[in-house]
Amino acid sequence: MSGNSKNGRKLKIVGFLCNWCSYAGADLAGVSRLQYPEEIRIIRVPCSGRINPLLVLKCFQEGADGVLVSGCHPGDCHYQDGNLYARRRMLLLRSLLTYFGIDERRFHMSWVSASEGKKWAETVRRLVEDVKAADAEAKEGIPVW
């Protein structure tokens, strides 16, 4: 399950996870001993509504190969509707990234609840595959950001 880039460099992927659902889901994946790629570095935030799009851009600027934003399913937000603000923000961010020719497979968003350890593992697996594919297809000499 290696996630190396085509020149053998280990991929760096940042995941912003809300404290109440996705982080707990990832934790469940851990205690359930589910295997998933280790390229993801998890940053716990209070709510997906806390995730300033600037944070995502900062990751890309600092050399991340991919970024994931993950929160509670709509209706499950600990703060009622933080994830619904996040949904609008990330939709807009994603369309701008795509518009500027950043491979859209490098930016993912997911809803993962505290009980979805399996979904979490699956989400990360797909994310790493996507980033790897984007990396393989990238033009020589064109950096991620």
Partner 1 sequence: MVTGTIAALQKTAADLLVKKTVDLVIGYGQSPLGDIVPLFIRKAEEAERLQWNRHCTYNLVRYLTDREVIGPAGVGPEDRKADAQSKDTAAGKVAVVVKGCDLKSLVVLQSESQVRRDRLTVIGLPCPGVTDKGGRLLAKCESCPPEAYNPREGLCDLVVGAPVDETGGRPVRDGSFQEIEEIDALEATERRELWDRYFSRCLRCYACRNVCPLCYCKECVFDQHDPRWVSPAAGVATNRAFHLIRAYHLAGRCVDCGECERACPVGIPLRRINRKVAKVVEESFHFQAGLDPEAKSPLVLFSSEDPEEFIE
Q: Where does this chain bind partner 1 (CB under 8 A)?
A: 53-54, 57-58, 60-61, 74, 81, 84-85, 87-104, 108-111, 123, 126, 139, 142-143, 145
d(CA 3, CA 135): 10
Least Å distance, CB 106 to partner 1, is 10
| Closer CB to partner 1, 20 or 60, in the complex | 60
| Closer CB to partner 1, 3 or 49, in the complex | 49
| Closer CB to partner 1, 27 or 104, in the complex | 104
Least Å distance, CB 116 to partner 1, is 11
Least Å distance, CB 98 to partner 1, is 7
Q: What residues contact 85, with CB distance under 8 A and at least 6 apart? A: 49
**In 3D, which of 55, 79, 77 has the Cα closest to residue 69?**
55
Which two three-digit tokens encode residue 49?
């509504």
Least Å distance, CB 29 to partner 1, is 15
